[in-house]
């Protein structure tokens, strides 16, 4: 029986975010459906992001990888800590024991450059459309491309390919596009989940509900969400808003200040700040609309795709490949509160027709082709071929 090729994923951390969850999904699937054996090295065991401290053991990626029996390793440190000599030795041993290195975004390449002399092909998975905002990872990627260490950079969206082609002058064959997908068996329409979620959150069964699943970060433009929601409440005073993600909590003073400034105090209870949720398949069905208000950086947002798979109507700003994902101009709005609120209101009014449209497109979101293509690309570089 031929020995399986060993693929080692390099990740800054197993925190709660779209790209770590997507990467964990890909690796977990390939562990059981390919001729590859997957291991993961997380450079951190805890991270502080958007008013939350996240430990590796409580993260969704950790649970997914553990369940899939992926070899999971981590350095006991936070991002602010220096690497110890033992950290460097441990990371080097894992890298040398692998056939191919699979980096989640460009940031992990900095440690690879620091260790040096690791003669293993590298594939990078790119999940952002703003290389200028990726810190030191950009220079590490540049160096690894220049010396041939990085064979390919997989782009999860066409907007990512355009951004990195412009930034690095790379040809398309170096930047294969593999659009994200979601597990349709997990994310599925469910009136039972909808009723239970609304009951648990204290939301009336007939009330219009708008959900945003995003961390409290500048690129997500949460101020635009709050301003738009406040305007929607003027026309739909029975509306409720569910806010999921790191920093979307009542102890976030910045978020509270936004509500204080834009929303009458008597309506603050309509903004349910539920923070990080691991089982989002139980949360999306609560909503009539799933919205995204990001202003930059997005590529192929999982929150839109997961919501659509649950039969929820998406409305997004035109950022990354978001407009391509939702596939209808009626579901794309500007980054201005008043016209965006009108777009939300129109989508609520046309809810039945739009839900029918979303459900017709559901099969297009399936993850299987995405995962299989990642496996093919990793196999191709393992045997020394480019692309």
pLDDT surpasses 80 at 49:
no
> What residues contact 386, with CB distance under 8 A and at least 6 apart?
151, 152, 173, 174, 380
Between the CA of residue 2 and those of 7, 29, 199, 229, 310, what are the distances in Å? Answer: 15, 20, 53, 57, 40
* Whether pLDDT at 385 is above 50: no
Return the DSSP state at 4: P
**Closest C-alpha to 152, from 383, 381, 382:** 381
pTM over 0.75: yes
Q: What pLDDT is stored for residue 190 in this prediction?
A: 96
Confidence category of residue 208, pLDDT binned at 50, 70, 90: very high
Q: Is the pLDDT of residue 359 over 60?
A: yes
- Residue 209 near residue 241 (C-beta atoms within 8 A): yes
Helices 351-360 and 337-349 pack at an angle, to 10 degrees, of 80
State yes or no: pLDDT of 257 exceeds 80. Answer: yes
Strands (E), 79-130: 100-104, 122-126
What pLDDT was estimated at residue 4? 85
Average pLDDT over all residues of the chain: 93
* Whether the predicted pLDDT of 50 surpasses 90: no
The pLDDT confidence band at residue 318, using thresholds 50, 70 and 90, is: very high
How far CA 247 is from CA of 11, 16, 47, 256, in Å, comes to 22, 11, 13, 11
Q: Is pLDDT larger for residue 134 or for residue 275?
A: 275
Taking 60 as the threshold, does the pLDDT of residue 387 lie above it?
no
**pLDDT tens digits along 81-93:** 999 999 999 999 9
What is the pLDDT, as a whole number, of residue 1? Answer: 54
**Helix, coil or strand: residue 321:** coil
pLDDT at 136: 80
* % of the chain beyond a pLDDT of 90: 86
The per-residue DSSP string of 279-296 comes to: -GGGTGGG-SEEEE---S
* pLDDT reported for residue 14: 87
Structural domains of the chain sorted by starting position, each given as residue range(s) with its CATH number in brackets: 5-181+367-382 (3.40.50.2000), 191-365 (3.40.50.2000)
Total residue length of the chain: 387
The SS3 assignment for 125 reads strand
CA separation for the pair 295, 200 (Å, rounded): 32
Q: What percent of the chain has pLDDT over 70?
A: 97
The mean pLDDT value for 191-215 works out to 96
Reported as a single tens digit per residue, the pLDDT across 267-289 is 999 999 999 998 999 999 999 99
């Amino acid at each position: 029986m031929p020995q399986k090729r060993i693929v080692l994923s390099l990740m800054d951390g197993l925190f709660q975010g779209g790209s770590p969850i997507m990467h964990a999904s890909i690796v977990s699937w390939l562990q059981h459906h390919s001729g590859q054996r997957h291991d993961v090295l997380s450079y951190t065991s805890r991270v502080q992001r958007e008013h939350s401290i996240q430990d590796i053991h409580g993260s969704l990626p950790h649970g997914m990888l553990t369940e899939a029996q992926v070899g999971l390793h981590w350095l006991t440190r936070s991002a602010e800590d220096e690497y110890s000599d033992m950290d460097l030795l441990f990371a080097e041993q894992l890298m040398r024991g692998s056939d191919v290195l699979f980096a989640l975004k460009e940031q992990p390449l900095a440690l690879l450059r620091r260790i040096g002399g690791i003669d293993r092909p590298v594939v990078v998975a790119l999940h952002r459309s703003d290389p200028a905002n990726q810190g030191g990872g950009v220079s590490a990627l540049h160096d690894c491309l220049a010396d041939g260490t990085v064979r390919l950079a997989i782009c999860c969206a066409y907007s990512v390919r355009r951004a990195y082609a412009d930034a690095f002058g790379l040809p398309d064959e170096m930047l294969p596009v593999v659009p994200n997908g979601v597990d349709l068996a997990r994310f599925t329409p469910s009136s039972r989940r909808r009723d239970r979620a609304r009951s648990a959150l204290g939301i009336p069964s007939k009330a219009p509900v708008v959900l945003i699943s995003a961390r409290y970060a500048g690129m997500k433009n949460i101020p635009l969400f709050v301003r738009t929601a406040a305007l929607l409440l003027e026309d739909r005073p029975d509306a409720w808003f569910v806010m999921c993600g790191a920093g979307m909590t009542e102890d976030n003073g910045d978020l509270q200040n936004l509500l204080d400034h834009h929303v009458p105090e008597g309506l603050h209870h309509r903004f349910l700040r539920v923070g990080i949720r691991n089982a989002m398949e139980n949360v999306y069905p609560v909503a009539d609309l799933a919205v995204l208000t990001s202003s930059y950086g997005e590529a192929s947002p999982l929150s839109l795709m997961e919501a659509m798979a649950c039969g929820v109507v998406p409305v997004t700003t035109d950022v990354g490949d978001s407009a391509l994902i939702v596939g209808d101009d009626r579901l794309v709005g500007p980054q201005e509160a008043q016209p965006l609120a009108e777009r939300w209101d129109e989508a609520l009014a046309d809810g039945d027709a739009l839900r029918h449209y979303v459900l017709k497109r559901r099969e297009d979101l399936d993850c299987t082709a995405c995962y299989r293509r990642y496996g093919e690309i990793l196999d191709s570089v393992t045997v020394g071929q480019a692309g």
